[in-house]
Amino acid sequence: MWQEFVNYLTINIFGLNGKLNDTINFFIYDVGKIWFLLLTIIFVVSYLRTHFNTEYVRAYLQGKSEFFGNILAALFGIITPFCSCSAIPLFLGFIQARIPIGVTFSFLISAPLNNEIAIAMLFGIFGWKITAIYIGFGLLVAIFGGFFIGKMKMDKYVLLDVKPMEGELQEVKIKLTFAQRVKESKEYTLDIFKKIYIYVMIGVGIGAFIHGYIPADFIANYAGGDNPFAVLIAVLMGIPMYSNAAGVMPLVEVLTSKGMLLGTALSFMMAVTALSLPEAMILKKILHVKLIGVFFGIVGAGIIGIGYLFNAIL
């Protein structure tokens, strides 16, 4: 129904046709669809989040076996709507709580890759099967990336003098009424939406231009299945960029429609969200360059591997 309305609007009301109609039609349709998905899913996840907080998570992770901690930290990343840079304060909180460094990195990797914004947009664009596969692979990168970093015993490369918390962390119980939870979820959803809606419009705008004016052959020739280095190139292109899932996901949709293999496009998105240069610059203040290099190397290798695997199975 939404597509039919947009078609009527651009053709019958605006009187558009050809490439201009394709571009404007794509922009209006995708912005409306993505905004609706974001508001709906962020609200649902925000409501679920009112039942616990980060102090509870830190208390629960404390003392758990390292690999189990990697799994829990990666899963926790799903319900935190952070980009790679905004996840760093909580990353420091984990270190302060004496949680193993490998576990903290599992969270730092998972938070930008698997947050509800990425899940909502993936579901709306590619359906639940692709979304489930993406979440599974993203969790694998976060779990094993953090696990390997932990096994390398690189705690000495944490430069910032973070004073450990005294004693054991206690579980913090949250007692809210249903109305309070709904109110808090609504406020949180609107706050997040205000921060990202412009990125959606910018991303969709760029995607709409590519959709309407860039020939499919151009993208297929340079980033299609015939280029064995397409995934590697996509990851290297994504690292200098900085965006969140809301800004880059519309590009993924258009690039795949123009002939780029899905694994290549998702690798590009994962590199943009999880391996950004601004993140490296912030981390440089608290981590030694060697640890940052290991972090980028392990995560980058995982993303590249997932891209080729995605291309192979899909």
- Distance spanning both ends of the chain, measured CA to CA: 29
According to DSSP, residue 260 is labeled: -
Minimum mean pLDDT among 94-98, 167-171, 173-177: which range?
167-171
pLDDT greater than 80 at residue 181:
yes
Helix axes 245-257, 216-223, angle to 10 degrees: 100
**Euclidean distance between CA atoms 8 and 159, whole angstroms:** 59
What mean pLDDT comes out for the span 54-65? 62
- Identity of the residue numbered 89: P
The predicted structure's pLDDT at residue 141:
87
The predicted structure's pLDDT at residue 167:
47
Task: Specify the 3-state DSSP secondary structure of 177.
Answer: coil
Given a contact cutoff of 8 angstroms between Cβ atoms, the answer to whether 69 and 99 are in contact is: yes
The more confidently predicted of residues 79 and 74 is 74
pLDDT greater than 70 at residue 271:
yes
Structure tokens at 263: 């694994």
Cα 5 from chain centroid? 31
Nearest to 190 by CA among 182, 178, 179, 201: 182
pLDDT greater than 70 at residue 93:
no
**Euclidean distance between CA atoms 94 and 146, whole angstroms:** 13
What mean pLDDT comes out for the span 202-212? 77
Given a contact cutoff of 8 angstroms between Cβ atoms, the answer to whether 157 and 287 are in contact is: yes
Share above pLDDT 70 across residues of the chain, in percent, rounded to a whole number? 76
**Euclidean distance between CA atoms 53 and 304, whole angstroms:** 33
Average pLDDT along the chain: 78
The owner of tokens 């579980």 is 171
Taking the CA atoms of residue 34, residue 39, residue 40 and residue 44 in that order, the dihedral angle to the nearest 10 degrees is 140
The predicted structure's pLDDT at residue 87:
62
Q: What are the residue ranges spanned by the domains of the chain?
A: 2-313
Structure tokens at 264: 């290549």
> Could you tell me the CA-to-CA distances from 303 to 50, 258, 298, 300 in Å, in that order?
32, 22, 9, 5
Q: Write the pLDDT tens digit of every residue in 237-262.
A: 777 665 666 667 777 878 888 778 88
Rounded CA Rg of the chain: 21
